[in-house]
A and B are shown apart, each in its own frame.
Chain A
Amino acid sequence: MISVRNLHKRFGSQVVLNGVNLEIEPGKTTAVVGPSGVGKSVLLKLIMGIMSPDEGEVIIGGYNMTAARSERSKNEIRNALGVLFQSAALFDSLSIYDNIAFSLRERMGLSASKAHTRVLSMADALSLTPYLRNFPEQVSIGIRKRVGMARALISEPKVLLVDEPNTGLDPLDGQEVYDLINACKNQWGFTGLVISHELPEVFQVSDRVAMILNGEIIVEGSPAELSNSSDPAVQQFLNGRTDGPIKIQ
């Protein structure tokens, strides 16, 4: 469903991605893990097509995002995507109802009445009905993440991209987001890519895990394979040690 091939990206003299390859099968969820600042979010932006790589390509559902030159052709590929951003990135000038309805109205051009039925149904599925009249700053970050998930899923995307699902959340809210991802996956059956630095928590939503370091994917496999990897960097990261090949920046 998603193929990332030989992706290179640098900012000035700093190499962020140095030949990243990744394959995500339809219906499966892959987590890309690694310490902060290794280019996980850059990888996500390259997949979304809101940043251009120096080299390499991103194929989504058979369409080449990197070859799409105009914003219009990129948008056609983006129609297959739903994105849950790190801080939810809700539109703070819109109510929670309008945030959820946004892509139905603006992307799909649905009428208010058709959008209304789907918003209510999605709000009910994600227990957001009591908050629909609120604005994003009036609810907790946990609720905002749920709204972000509702906004991402309401247009029934084939691919869900999730950036750092439990940043800023306490352990209970963090677990709730993982439960939510699993529940939504069971209900809507999307292909998933989750960017995270939280191990082993992210394993519970992942079929595959890839660890990125120094611009390259150093290990890829099932969560069990990653846990049992003999790679010293993986073990250092898994065990949260400061000594080892990963240097704290």
Chain B
Amino acid sequence: MNIFDTIERFGRFLIYATERWGRSWIFLARSLVALARPPYRPYLYFTQLSQIGANSSIVIALIAVFTGAVLAVQGEYTLSKFGANAYTGPMVALSLIRELGPVLTALMVIGRAGSAVTAELGIMRITEQIDALRSMAVDPIKYLMAPRLLAGIIAMPLLCGLFNVIGILGGYIVAVGLLGLSAGTFMSQIEAAVDLVDITSGFIKAAVFGLIFGWVSCYKGYTCGFGAQGVNKATTQSVVTASVAVLIVDYFLTSVLTRVFMQ
């Protein structure tokens, strides 16, 4: 294989990847436009909000309580080396509100609901249910994708809020109940350290992660390949792509939001 073959293959891959990337952006744009156009079918939005949001709340609460607890243990251990274990509360709260809340919530929702959304849409694709919708003059982007996208954008900040509250509660139980910190110190230091901008930036991140969740999981399901293997591949790709995208976007979003809110 000579150098020209390699260049040709690379060029082909580049065209293929650019085309896929472009298609996914068109898909997102169509879904967002569909959100604005009537008919609105509110029952579809509430159903998705329930499936993606409410049904994820138990697992989010479980992860949050242990994340808060482990943060309290690690925080108290590290801060006590500097005689600053009174700041365990702010450490737990700021870590959760600014970073771990939005990111872990997004990763959990992607794992639980994102895979389900992709698999559901993928099965609808291979069993011709999406073709059936189109044949009945019902736009599948509007009927199937838009409600899931909006539900992701709304549910993620709500779940993130739940994660933060329960995470702080988990940290409180460990720090105050097991490690002997004063309850008043724990709470008053949190109150002093946490600003509205910390909470706002966390919620903005969560909403963006909700958009990524809805976009990737719907796109992968909608463009699913043939058969059980196609659904399998789409579901795996959906979870991996969305999780990696959340972590990458998190870095850039954190940089931008920190700069914006610090000014």
- Residues on A facing B (Cβ under 8 Å): 45, 48-50, 71, 75-76, 78-79, 81, 83, 85-87, 89-92, 102-103, 106-107, 109, 155, 161
Report the bound CA distance from A90 to B137 in whole Å. 15
B135 within 8 A of A: yes
* Beta-carbon contact of B137 and A89 below 8 Å: no
Instruction: Name the residue on B nearest A99 (C-beta).
Output: B132
* Beta-carbon contact of A78 and B132 below 8 Å: no
Collect the chain B residues with CB atoms within 8 Å of residue A75's CB. Answer: 137, 139
* Beta-carbon contact of B129 and A48 below 8 Å: no
Collect the chain A residues with CB atoms within 8 Å of residue B136's CB. Answer: 78, 83, 102-103, 106-107, 155
Instruction: Name the residue on B nearest A86 (C-beta).
Output: B128
Instruction: Name the residue on A nearest B39 (C-beta).
Output: A109
In the complex with contacts A106-B143, A109-B39, A85-B132 CB distance below 8 A:
yes
In the complex with contacts A86-B128, A89-B127, A89-B128, A71-B135 CB distance below 8 A:
no
Report the bound CA distance from A45 to B131 in whole Å. 9
Report the bound CA distance from A109 to B138 in whole Å. 11
Min C-beta distance of A71 to chain B, whole Å: 6
Collect the chain B residues with CB atoms within 8 Å of residue A107's CB. Answer: 136-138
Instruction: Name the residue on A nearest B137 (C-beta).
Output: A75
Report the bound CA distance from A50 to B130 in whole Å. 10
In the complex with contacts A85-B128, A109-B39, A79-B137 CB distance below 8 A:
yes
Collect the chain B residues with CB atoms within 8 Å of residue A109's CB. Answer: 39
Instruction: Name the residue on A nearest B128 (C-beta).
Output: A89
Report the bound CA distance from A107 to B127 in whole Å. 21
* Beta-carbon contact of B132 and A91 below 8 Å: yes
* Beta-carbon contact of B135 and A81 below 8 Å: yes
Q: Which of B124, B135, B143 contacts A83 (CB 8 A)?
A: B135
Scoring B124, B128, B129, B137 by chain A CB atoms within 10 A of each residue's CB, the highest score goes to B137
Collect the chain A residues with CB atoms within 8 Å of residue B127's CB. Answer: 87, 89, 92
Collect the chain B residues with CB atoms within 8 Å of residue A90's CB. Answer: 129, 132
* Beta-carbon contact of A87 and B128 below 8 Å: yes
Min C-beta distance of B23 to chain A, whole Å: 15
* Beta-carbon contact of A89 and B139 below 8 Å: no
Q: Which of A78, A86, A87 contacts B134 (CB 8 A)?
A: A78
Interface string of B129-152 (1 = CB under 8 A from A): 101101111110001000000000
Interface string of B152-187 (1 = CB under 8 A from A): 000000000000000000000000000000000000
Min C-beta distance of B40 to chain A, whole Å: 12
In the complex with contacts A89-B127, A106-B143, A48-B132 CB distance below 8 A:
no
Collect the chain B residues with CB atoms within 8 Å of residue A91's CB. Answer: 124, 129, 132
Can you list 22 contacts pairing A with B, beta carbon distance less than 8 Å? A48-B134, A48-B135, A50-B134, A50-B135, A75-B137, A76-B137, A78-B136, A81-B135, A83-B136, A85-B128, A87-B127, A89-B127, A89-B131, A89-B132, A90-B129, A90-B132, A91-B129, A91-B132, A92-B129, A106-B41, A106-B136, A106-B143
Collect the chain B residues with CB atoms within 8 Å of residue A83's CB. Answer: 132, 135-136
* Beta-carbon contact of B131 and A78 below 8 Å: no
